[in-house]
Amino acid sequence: MTAAELGRSRGGLTSKVHLATDRRCRPLSIILTPGQAADSPRFLPVLKKIKVRGPVGRPRTRPDAVAGDKAYSSRANRAHLRTRKIQAVIPEKADQKANRKKRGSAGGRPVSHDATLYKDRNTVERGINKIKEWRGLATRYDKTPESYAAGLHLRGSILWLRSLPTP
């Protein structure tokens, strides 16, 4: 982690947490970036950090589907998911839809969107809320990106440990 992960905005130093969660709101990968950084370019690095171990075998790195909001709607992200045979549950932005329609038949087919799977996208929002239960993470008291990222990973570990069945 470097100081480049602290961005400058009108409110002072800021940072943004990019997070992938499972359906039980447990974090699978966390990336910290400057606050002014865009969301869409961070989609692939977050996706590449996902590794889930099962009882046997290699870690699983390819989910069945990925749900995201409109900020992650880009041709590059959709093409990457298509090549890996991952279902994209990401709605199309209005300007992208208008550009596609403007191009006519050369614009391609409309983006398929599974509304029932998209309803589960709120698991990321709930996961962020569970992380923010720690006051230090919610208010960003840590001055260095390293200590803030360490707090994020510690909180993620606690969320995973709490979800384990008790003997």
Tell me: the pLDDT tens digits for 43-102?
A: 999 999 988 877 888 888 888 888 888 888 888 898 899 899 988 888 888 877 787 777
pLDDT at 2: 46
Percent of the chain at pLDDT above 90?
19
R_g (Cα) of the chain, nearest Å: 18
Q: What CATH number is attached to the domain comprising 16? A: 3.30.420
Structural domain of residue 141, as residue ranges? 3-162
d(CA 163, CA 137): 20
Query: Is residue 63 in some structural domain?
Result: yes
Cβ atoms of residues 163 and 26 within 8 Å: yes
Residue 111: per-residue pLDDT: 74
Average pLDDT, the chain: 82
> Does residue 59 belong to any structural domain of this protein?
yes
Question: Domain for residue 167, yes or no?
Answer: no
Lowest mean pLDDT segment, chosen from 66-70, 109-113, 124-128:
109-113
Q: Does residue 150 lie in a domain region?
A: yes
Is 85 domain-assigned? yes
Domain membership of residue 64 (yes or no) is yes
Query: Does the residue 83 lie in any domain?
Result: yes
Give the C-alpha separation, 66 to 2, whole Å: 29
Does residue 137 belong to any structural domain of this protein? Answer: yes
How many domains are there within the chain?
1
